[in-house]
Each structure stands twice: as C-alpha cells, then as structure tokens.
C-alpha cells in the first residue's frame, strides 16, 4: 500500500509549477501525439522511418541543455563535447568487444558514464570554483573546441585504442549498431522501424523523467538558484552540489544523444563537436523556449525540420538562416518562439473571453 502511494507521489510530480501543461486536456493531447508518433511507421516506408530517427537522436541533448540552461541558469556550450566523447567511447568499446551478448547496451551505458565522468570533473572545477555567467560559457566552449582539434589530429596509425583507429578528421566508422539480445536471434537496431520505436520509447521516458525531476525538490532548488544564487545559498542550499548534479544529468543526456547518433549512422567525426555543431543545440533550445521542457522539445523538432528542409539549398545557407534565427529570437522573443506563441495565443483567447462577457 505504501509503495503505491509513493508511486502516486512520483506521478503527481509529472505536473507542477516548473512545467507547462496540466490537466486532462494536456495529457490527452500528449497521448494523442505519442499515438500518432507510434502509428507513423505503419504509413511510411521503413527507410524513411529509419532516417527520421535522426531527429529524435538530437532531442536528448536539447533536453539536457534545457535543464542546464533553462532551469539551472548556467549557459553550457559543452553539450557537443559530451556528445562527441560518448560517441567515440561507444565506437571504441564496440569495435573492440563486438556486439554479441548484448554488449552494445553495456557499451551504451559505459559511454554515457564516461561522458558523465568528464562532466563531473569539469563541473567540479567550474562550479566549486564558483564560475558562473559568461565565463562558464567560454570555458565550456574552449573545452569543446580543443577536444575537436585533438580528435582531428588523430589521423596517424599510432592513434588507436585496441583495434579501433581514431582516424583523425575523417572520423571513425564501422562500429556495430545497437543490438538487443533476444531468444531466437538478436534484434539489431538498424535505422529501421525497430530503432524508431526504441528511440521513441526512450524519448518519452526521458521527457517524463525530466518532468518529474524539475517538479521535484531538486528542480525547485535549481530554479531558485537560477533566479537568485545568493538567496538560494542563504536559505541553506549548497548550490554548488545542485549545479554539479544538474550539469552531470544534462551532459549525460548529451552523451546519450552521442551514442544514439553514432550507432544510428555507424559514424562519428570530430566536426560533430566543432564551433558550428556546438552552436546548433543553443539554436534549438533558444528558439524553442529554454525555460520549459515541452517548448524545448517541440522547438528542437521544429528547427531540425526547418534545417533539414533548408539543407537542400546547401548547408551554408541553412547555417546562415540558423544564425539569423538565433539573433532574431534573442532580440524579439527572448522567451522562445514556442512559448511566445503559446502566451500570445492564451492572451488572445482570454481577451476574446473578456470581450464576450463585457457588453
């Protein structure tokens, strides 16, 4: 009985002051979206479905950045560093040890763990040194750029770990895809319908998990730190530990994106960490609306779809458009496009109501 009430307490945190959306209408909409996303492979070609998993791969990194930046108020430019580290770690582990007996799943956990470990070390120096504001951004960006340059020069044959060549700027390839051990033949998650469902399931889990996290005590303290670090500290919270925890979780999510991307394309390059790549998560989260998980998720998918559509005309043009989008968002709708539209809609709606009631 006690266990049930505990579970109910957890589930009640799915709604709360830190997340947009509550009540029957919202959750009915949520179920509808999930059902539509689940039904999509029934109407589409397996090849297209596999390609579209690409969009989901990035959302974990965006949600992680939303936690760090939107809820914690710390601007980290290092998401792609953890993305790259986890991607390379997955490649090195699976190339060396193969994909039998579900090892790819262990490699997934290990790679995310390695990214989290790196985040813990970096986060320790940053948050316990009380680095905040703009410095946090430029130190994390420096780490990312140096890591990219380091991986780019590993072309020579001396750069190998076990049987995995790092291959410098050309990137590392031919690592196995994620494989689920199954009685009567392993399920290899090639970019196809099976991978789509696994990634979708993971995304729903992470989204709901993060909703619970930010509405829990931990999330409330994070928001208190974002609003006023001194006040949070005076109230007796060791803000450094909370910030470190948030950085760890956000970076591990970036690592998860890295592993999923690497196993999806069987490929990872140093440029996935570079200056341009590092800017993209910022664009998704800023444009979507960094202060809410749902807005970030929708915004990320929206911007990715725009980007994909524009890439037909050349990726340089698409990146210029992304830059313009970023500048315009910051200047005109600092809350983000999705949240801005939502508040505009609710204002129009309530004004309409008022107009109806007043004679």
Partner 1 sequence: MTLLFEAFTFLYQAGDAFAFLVLSACGLAVIFGMMGVINLAHGEFILCGAYVSASTARMGLPLPLAILCGALVAGVIGMIVERVIIRPLYQRPLDTIVATWGISMIATQGTLILLGSTMPGTGTPFGSFTVGAYSYSIYRLVLMGAALATLLGLWLIFTRTRFGLLARATIQVPHMAESLGVNTSLIYSLTFGLGAALAGLAGGLYAPTMTLVPTMGSAFVVEAFVTVVVGGADIFLGTAPAAAILGVIKAALTSWQGQLFGQIGLLVAVIIVIRILPRGISGWILRERT
Footprint of partner 1 on this chain (CB under 8 A)? 75, 122, 125-126, 128-131, 133-135, 137-139, 141-143, 145-146, 149-150, 153, 274-276, 279, 282-283, 286, 314, 316-317, 319-320, 322-327, 330-331, 334
Q: How far is the CB of 124 from partner 1 (least distance, A)?
A: 8
> Based on CB atoms, which residue is closest to partner 1, 34 or 325?
325
Q: How far is the CB of 237 from partner 1 (least distance, A)?
A: 19
Q: How far is the CB of 98 from partner 1 (least distance, A)?
A: 32
The single residue listed with the structure tokens 């005109």 is 332
Q: How far is the CB of 207 from partner 1 (least distance, A)?
A: 24
> Based on CB atoms, which residue is closest to partner 1, 286 or 297?
286
Answer yes or no: are the C-beta atoms of 250 and 65 closer than 8 Å: yes
Round to whole Å and give the CA distance between 218 and 146: 32
Q: How far is the CB of 90 from partner 1 (least distance, A)?
A: 23
Residue 30: C-alpha distances to residues 23, 98, 227, 258 (Å): 11, 38, 29, 26
Query: Within 13 Å and on the Cβ side, how many CA atoms surround 117?
Result: 9
Output the six-digit token pair for 255. Answer: 């690592």
Q: How far is the CB of 180 from partner 1 (least distance, A)?
A: 38
> Based on CB atoms, which residue is closest to partner 1, 230 or 352?
230
CA dihedral 313, 315, 318, 319 (to 10 degrees): -160
The single residue listed with the structure tokens 């780019």 is 152
> Based on CB atoms, which residue is closest to partner 1, 44 or 319?
319
Q: How far is the CB of 281 from partner 1 (least distance, A)?
A: 11
Q: Which of 305, 329, 325, 282 is nearest to 144 (CA)?
A: 282
Round to whole Å and give the CA distance between 24 and 27: 5
Q: Which of 24, 14, 126 is nearest to 77 (CA)?
A: 126
Answer yes or no: are the C-beta atoms of 206 and 63 closer than 8 Å: yes
> Based on CB atoms, which residue is closest to partner 1, 60 or 69?
69
Q: How far is the CB of 7 from partner 1 (least distance, A)?
A: 38
> Based on CB atoms, which residue is closest to partner 1, 193 or 333?
333
Answer yes or no: are the C-beta atoms of 85 and 147 closer than 8 Å: yes
Round to whole Å and give the CA distance between 295 and 153: 38
Round to whole Å and give the CA distance between 155 and 300: 33
Round to whole Å and give the CA distance between 64 and 249: 7
Answer yes or no: are the C-beta atoms of 243 and 73 closer than 8 Å: no
> Based on CB atoms, which residue is closest to partner 1, 144 or 179?
144
Q: How far is the CB of 110 from partner 1 (least distance, A)?
A: 24
> Based on CB atoms, which residue is closest to partner 1, 134 or 234?
134
Round to whole Å and give the CA distance between 15 and 208: 10
Other CB atoms within a 10 A radius of the CB of residue 242 amount to 19
> Based on CB atoms, which residue is closest to partner 1, 204 or 310?
310
């Amino acid at each position: 009985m006690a266990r049930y009430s505990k579970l109910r307490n957890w589930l009640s945190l799915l709604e709360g002051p830190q997340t947009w959306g509550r009540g029957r209408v919202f959750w009915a909409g949520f179920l509808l979206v999930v059902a539509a996303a689940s039904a999509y492979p029934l109407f589409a070609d397996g090849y297209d479905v596999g390609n579209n998993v690409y969009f989901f791969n990035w959302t974990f990194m965006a949600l992680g950045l939303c936690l760090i930046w939107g809820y914690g108020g710390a601007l980290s430019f290092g998401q792609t560093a953890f993305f790259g580290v986890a991607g390379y770690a997955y490649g090195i582990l699976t190339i060396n040890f193969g994909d039998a007996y579900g090892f790819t799943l262990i490699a997934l956990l290990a790679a995310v763990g390695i990214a989290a470990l790196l985040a813990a070390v970096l986060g320790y120096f940053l948050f316990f040194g009380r680095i905040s504001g703009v410095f946090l951004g430029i130190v994390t960006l420096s780490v990312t750029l140096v890591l990219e340059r380091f991986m780019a020069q590993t072309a020579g044959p001396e750069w190998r770990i076990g049987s995995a060549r790092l291959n410098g700027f050309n990137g590392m390839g031919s690592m196995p895809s994620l494989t689920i051990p199954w009685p009567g033949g392993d399920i290899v998650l090639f970019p196809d319908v099976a991978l789509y469902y696994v990634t979708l399931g993971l995304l729903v889990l992470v989204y709901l998990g993060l909703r619970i996290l930010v509405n829990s005590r931990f999330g409330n303290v994070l928001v208190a730190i974002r609003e006023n670090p001194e006040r949070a500290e005076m109230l007796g919270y060791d803000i450094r530990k909370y910030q470190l925890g948030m950085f760890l979780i956000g970076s591990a999510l970036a690592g998860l994106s890295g592993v999923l991307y690497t196993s999806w394309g069987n490929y990872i390059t140093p440029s996935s960490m570079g200056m341009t790549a590092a800017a993209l998560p910022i664009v998704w989260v800023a444009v979507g609306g960094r202060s809410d998980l749902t807005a970030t998720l929708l915004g990320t998918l929206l911007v990715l779809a725009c980007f994909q559509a524009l890439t037909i005309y050349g990726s340089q043009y698409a990146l210029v458009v992304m830059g313009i989008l970023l500048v315009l968002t910051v200047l005109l709708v600092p809350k983000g496009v999705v949240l801005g539209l939502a508040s505009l809609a609710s204002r129009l709606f309530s004004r309409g109501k008022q107009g109806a009631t007043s004679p």
